[in-house]
């Protein structure tokens, strides 16, 4: 039997692929990572709102690949995944989706790992306990936070899971709007705290701290103050002689030549030429949708319904982390767009099993946080695209332009209480 080309083949150079590529090559294994996007460097990044979050250039795969489609069943017509699920934008190039993430770095709470025991099964659901516990995973949460540089203050987090070490960096400085939100939370009896983020509040491991420019969410950081797998894990892994990163390699099939064992992958290069690469271990880390797509596409005589799909579960039970927001308009300037998009505060009195669910009809919970910008980055074009329109104001023309001019600075998103004033205007108290 021919010796495999590599000990480990990893498909995707994002969060999963970057971390595993470094870990396994550091351990002495011969590792190859395949990335469908091109190689680029921090010098290629600019603060260009039109290029990145609007036209989704360079950092997103969707424009390059034409977008993934889906069908609810075999009889239905295909539909575009994007923009139906707008918060599942995929990555393009080393670093993957981490290149345009905002940096929020939560830990799951211990109850999540025993979800079935804590909540029981829901109708037509598929809740299951994790095969590991929070206690077993905790050292790796800590390792991630210190490798990437996470800023936060665990002592301020009410109901936060126990941890073996504090965050490596202090929390980000909060802006005027965020402090406004925090003050409102305290007045209602809640205990707000700075959200932990993978954005450097101080210089760290050779990288500069954030400049509080505001170009974080939907952008690659121009000074590397926002952490991602490209500027941390992959940069270190590339120093290992036993690590190979191949870019512009689009994987179309996982190969199997014996039952219950995969042995490589077939990929296309820039010219569309096919290459087969073999390995003793194959790891798929290509984003939720593409993981399922690739497994289902790799049908063969040993896996006629797709690899890992013996019970028909691959691609089912998609779990998104939805976000619901309310915009508030203030008389004073809030300037939410200034500073990192994730320099927010949150309350977690309503996460998981930290509150009474009697009669609510749902399980688990979520964070309430603010003050967030309108749009992913809150810059002018995104603001104009995403801001909620008052009654009678169209999305174009002089009224719309006036709305944008007046409200770019005073608007913020978060948890709001809505009252009615004497003259009929809606006042939003945060």
Q: Quick one: pLDDT at residue 282?
A: 98
- Is the pLDDT at 377 greater than 70? The verdict is no
Tokens of 160: 């936060």
Average of pLDDT values for 203-207?
95
Q: 146 or 429: which carries more pLDDT confidence?
A: 146
Report the chain's terminal Cα–Cα distance, integer Å.
Answer: 67
Nearest to 181 by CA among 419, 417, 426, 394: 417
User: What mean pLDDT do residues 209-236 have?
Assistant: 90
The answer to whether residue 247 scores a pLDDT higher than 60 is yes
Q: Is the pLDDT of residue 240 over 90?
A: yes
Q: Give dist(CA 126, CA 319) in Å, integer.
A: 11
Asked if 387 contacts 304 with a C-beta cutoff of 8 angstroms, the reply is: no
**What count of other Cβ atoms lies within 10 Å of the Cβ of residue 113?**
18
Q: Kindly write down the DSSP assignment for every residue of 360-412, as one continuous string.
A: T-------EEEPBPSSSS--HHHHHHHSPPPTT--SSHHHHHHHHHHHTTTEE
Residue 119 has pLDDT above 60, yes or no: yes
Residue-level pLDDT at 85 = 53
What is the rounded CA–CA span in Å between residue 195 and residue 73?
40
pLDDT at 415 over 60: no
The larger pLDDT score, comparing residue 163 to residue 290, is at: 163
pLDDT on residue 429:
29
> Which of the residue ranges 57-71, 189-203, 356-370, 375-389 has the most confident prediction, judged by mean pLDDT?
189-203
Q: Say what the pLDDT of residue 61 is.
A: 66
Q: What is the pLDDT of residues 51-107, one digit of tens each?
A: 877 777 766 666 566 666 777 788 888 877 655 454 566 788 999 989 888 889 999
What are the tens digits of pLDDT across the range 391-404? 898 988 999 888 88
d(CA 430, CA 329): 10
Low-confidence winner among 25-39, 109-123, 175-189, 400-414 (lowest mean pLDDT) = 400-414
Q: What does the pLDDT look like over 171-187, one tens digit per residue?
A: 999 888 888 889 999 99
pLDDT for res 154: 95
User: Hey, what are 296's tokens?
Assistant: 């289902």
- Side-chain-side CA neighbours of residue 344 (13 Å): 24
Name the band, by pLDDT with cuts 50, 70 and 90, for residue 424: very low
Average pLDDT across the chain, whole number: 85
The domains found in the chain, sorted by start residue, are: 1-101+228-318 (3.50.50.60), 326-429 (no CATH)
pLDDT of residue 430: 33
Asked whether residue 411 carries a pLDDT value surpassing 60, the answer given is no
- Cα gap 23→129, rounded to integer Å: 27
pLDDT for the residue 63: 59
Residue among 319, 339, 301 nearest 115 (CA): 319
pLDDT band, residue 428 (cuts 50/70/90): very low
**Distances from the Cα of 161 to the Cα of 24, 110, 129, 199, 354, angstroms:** 28, 7, 18, 21, 12
CA distance 246 to 251: 11
């Amino acid at each position: 039997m021919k010796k495999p080309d590599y000990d480990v083949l990893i498909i995707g150079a994002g969060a999963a692929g970057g971390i595993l590529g470094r870990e396994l090559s550091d351990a002495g294994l011969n590792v190859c990572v395949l990335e469908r996007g091109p190689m680029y460097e921090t010098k290629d990044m600019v603060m260009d709102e039109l290029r990145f979050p609007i036209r989704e250039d360079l950092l997103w795969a969707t424009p390059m690949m034409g977008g993934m489609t889906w069908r609810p069943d075999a009889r239905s017509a295909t539909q575009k995944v994007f923009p139906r699920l707008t918060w599942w934008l995929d990555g393009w190039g080393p670093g993957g989706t981490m290149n345009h993430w905002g940096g929020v770095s939560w830990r799951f709470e211990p109850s999540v790992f025993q979800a079935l025991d804590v909540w029981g099964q829901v109708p037509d659901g598929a809740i299951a306990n994790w095969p590991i516990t929070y206690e077993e995973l905790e050292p790796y949460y800590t390792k991630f936070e210190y490798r990437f540089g996470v800023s936060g203050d665990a002592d301020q987090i009410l109901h936060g899971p126990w941890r073996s070490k504090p965050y490596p960096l202090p929390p980000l400085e909060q802006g005027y709007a965020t402090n406004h939100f925090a003050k409102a939370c305290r007045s209602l009896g809640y205990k707000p705290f700075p959200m932990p983020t993978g954005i450097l509040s101080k210089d760290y491991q050779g990288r500069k701290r954030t400049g509080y420019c505001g170009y974080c969410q939907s952008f690659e950081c121009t000074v590397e103050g926002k952490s991602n797998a490209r500027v941390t894990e992959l940069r270190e892994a590339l120093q290992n002689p036993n690590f190979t990163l191949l870019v512009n390699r689009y994987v179309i099939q996982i190969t199997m030549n014996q039952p219950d064992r995969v042995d490589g992958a077939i990929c296309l290069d820039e010219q569309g030429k096919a290459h087969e690469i073999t390995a003793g271990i194959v790891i798929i880390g290509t984003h939720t949708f593409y993981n399922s797509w690739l497994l289902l596409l790799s049908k063969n005589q040993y896996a006629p319904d797709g690899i890992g799909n013996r019970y028909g579960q691959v691609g089912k039970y998609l779990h998104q982390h939805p976000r619901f927001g309310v915009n508030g308009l203030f008389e004073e300037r809030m300037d939410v767009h200034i500073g990192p998009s994730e320099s927010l505060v949150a309350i977690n009195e309503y996460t998981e099993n930290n509150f009474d669910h009697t009669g609510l009809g749902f399980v688990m919970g979520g964070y309430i946080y603010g003050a967030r910008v309108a749009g992913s980055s809150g810059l002018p074009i995104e603001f104009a695209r995403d801001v909620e329109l008052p009654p009678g104001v169209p999305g174009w023309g002089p009224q719309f332009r006036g709305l944008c001019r007046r409200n770019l600075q005073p608007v913020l998103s978060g948890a709001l209480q809505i009252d009615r004033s004497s003259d009929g205007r809606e006042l939003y108290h945060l």
